[in-house]
Structure 1
Amino acid sequence: MADDSIPVSADVPDSPFRTTGTDHVTVWGSNAEETIAFYRDLLGMPLVMRQPNLDDPSQTHLFFDTGDGRILTVFVSDERSSNRGRLRTQVGGVR
């Protein structure tokens, strides 16, 4: 259960470090064709870069502009098919 005694606030905390933003957020996708169809063709995010995943060259790293110059990247593999059914999000998963 969450500790309700910890205040929720948009005020910048008194901490030794400050973040100024993120470079990009990366998620796992299925294959390139269906991922591009979703993010570019349906959501209107331009595909601005494509390169091999530097940690695993068997995958591709797609970079989409979210509309304000910030980037969403997706690791894809042509060996992964899309799951069109309802997915149960596991611990650490993204919705």
Structure 2
Amino acid sequence: MKIMHCPLNGPRNISEFIYGGELKAMPDPAACNDREWADYVFYHDNQPGVVTEWWLHAPSSYWFLAERNTLTDEILHTFEPQDIFQQRVEFATGEPRS
């Protein structure tokens, strides 16, 4: 059984987690075009080696970050998002983007 350490809930079976994608810089939603936004949302670099990724602990709906070696599938470190993010990003509400 593979175990992942959730920063909120401690060691848990890997089946409780959902992969959320690579951590990468988000373009400005108000200034980027649809292609740039699609690249951010849907495409990944998929580089071999150590990658920082978003993970969700599904039973608690808790999002966190993990450093994982994509060559060995070893989870090296898990941590809370606030360890690297100082503020929450707020999106404008209203009309859909064109």
- TM-score, normalized by length of structure 2? 0.29
TM-score normalised by length of structure 1: 0.29
Higher strand fraction (1 or 2): 2
